[in-house]
Amino acid sequence: MAVSGAGGSMRLLAVGIAVLVVALIAIDALALALVNPATRLGPHYYMSLGDSVAFGFQPDLNFSDGFANFVFQDLQKAKSAPVTDLANFACAGESSTTMIAGECQGRALKHIAYTGPQLDAAIAFLKRHPGQVNPITLDMGANDVINDFDHASCTAAPTSDADLATLDRNLTQTILPRLQQAIRDTSGPRGADIVLLNYYNPFAKDCPGSNVFTHQLNDHLAADADQAHVRLVDVYAEFGGDAHMADNICTLSWACDARQPDIHPRTVGYQKIRDAVERTLAYPGIGLPQPLPIVAPFGLLTPRDAPRPSRS
């Protein structure tokens, strides 16, 4: 049908503007989808890896109030990085060696059923869900050295140096490199944020000098995170650091419970760990009251971004 005159020109102009607006909206949506997981289509997973703390163990058999659950709940509500599913592969009793080789001591205490090593299961999941996993938290190291500390005498065994060397080797030569390679293979340039957690001191009340042992572990974790170019979550500082750990540990963990003393966090302790994780991830709008620097989602973190553990 022919269009003539000024009216026809105006109609053509209006159609052209409408097409242009639609095109700009589509381009804007595509650009946002590439840099912002909030606009990505399909499922978006938060992956939790590690030991019983990552699993969310409590001796009263409350396994649903771990820090990963709280982080997931906040990420579900976040405008900048909403997550649709939690993939918690953590196994209670896992060490860095069993994470690679399998045979986790507490393999019955897992939220996701899988056979074989946790690391293999996590990498297989990344491959099945390319570009859909971010962030990844890793809580690993306590079970590598827990038997090196004698709670009764408040002393560390000489074997701790060798066990820490094994932890360093497993983290920097196998666990973190394999996770990072899987991310590169499946997520392309967008990548995914991996953060490594350090530990609070569950012996702070009963063994005042035990902070030395905890610092030794945490210093190794900081060096491993730095070498692997991942960010460190300072749980130790969140629990009060050297100055207030002994004052807080009975409230934040089960360590002082008269009926069933246990090194694991209480719900309020897991909430503290949640706060430390979210502060480190620094995604805007995920539950922390203070303004946070924005870290681009799906960006690999660099050594200069990684905070050192606080001893205050």
DSSP string covering 122-136: HHHHHHHSTT-EEEE
Q: Which of 25-29, 133-137, 206-210, 238-242 has the lowest mean pLDDT?
A: 25-29
Contact 71, 38 (CB under 8 A): no
- The SS3 assignment for 139 reads strand
Residues 6+ apart with CB under 8 A from 102: 116, 117, 118, 120
Contact present, 48 and 54 (Cβ < 8 Å): yes
* Predicted structure pTM score: 0.80
| Helix 160-170 with 211-228: angle, nearest 10 deg | 20
Q: Mutual orientation of helices 267-281 and 67-77 as an angle, nearest 10°?
A: 50
Q: Report the alpha-carbon distance of residue 171 to residue 217 in Å, rounded.
A: 13
Give residue-wise pLDDT tens across range 258-280.
898 999 999 999 999 999 999 99
- Rounded mean pLDDT, 220-240: 98
For residue 211, report the phi and psi dihedrals to the nearest 5 degrees. -60, -30
